[in-house]
Amino acid sequence: MTETMGQARNARVMQNVAVPMRDGVPLMTTIFLPLAPAESGYPAVLVRTAYNRAGFGPGEFTERGLTLVVQDCRGRYGSEGDFVPFVNETRDGEDTLAWLAAQPWCNGRIGMFGDSYLAATQFAVGASGVPGLCALNPRFMAGDIWRQAYYCDGAFGLGLT
C-alpha cells in the first residue's frame, strides 16, 4: 500500500501510513488532521483496532482540534505480521505512542479510546509510562478476558478464538 494524502469533509487525511515497530513490522495507520493549522501541533487520539481501521472517520475529533489516528493491529487488515490476540499489544502500543509523539503535527499529548479489543489495547499500554499518554477511555471490556471470554467456567470457548 502507498501512503496517500487527501481531504474529507472536515479533515485532512493521511492514508496507509506504515508505522514501523521495533522489530521492523509496519502497522498500517490512517490519520485525520484538523483543517485549521496549528503552530505547535494538535493533541491526538489513538485507536488501535483488530476490527479494520477502514470503518473510522474523523467524526467530531478534527472539528474540535484533535487528530484522530487509527491503526490496524499487527496481522490485521493492512498491517503486516501475525495476529496473536493480546500478545503484541503492549510493545506495539508503546512503539506507536512514541512514533506519534515524535510527529511534527502532534503536540505530544495523546489519548486513547474504544470498546472491546480497542479497550484491551489501552489496558496494554496504560501502565507503561510512555510520555505523552494523558487519557484512556476503555468504554467496554471484560474484566478477566481469560475466564469471561476464552475459558468460560473452565471450558475453552471457540466463540472469540
Determine whether 120 is exposed, middle or buried from the number of CB atoms within 10 Å of its CB (0-12, 13-18, 19+): buried
CB 25 within 8 A of CB 46: no
Question: In 3D, which of 76, 62, 61, 65 has the Cα closest to residue 29?
Answer: 76
Question: In 3D, which of 130, 136, 127, 128 has the Cα closest to residue 48?
Answer: 136
User: What phi and psi values does residue 132 have, to the nearest 5 degrees?
Assistant: 95, -20
Q: What DSSP state is assigned to residue 126?
A: H
Q: What is the pLDDT at residue 159?
A: 60
Tens-digit pLDDT profile for residues 117-138? 888 899 899 988 888 999 998 8
Percent over 90 (pLDDT), the chain:
64
What's the pTM? Answer: 0.86
Please state, rounded to an integer, the average pLDDT across all residues of the chain.
Answer: 88
Tens-digit pLDDT profile for residues 38-61? 889 999 999 999 999 998 999 999
Mean pLDDT score, 71-87: 95
Say yes or no to pLDDT of 1 above 70: no
Mean pLDDT score, 5-15: 81
Enumerate domains of the chain plus CATH numbers: 4-156 (3.40.50.1820)
CA distance 87 to 23: 14
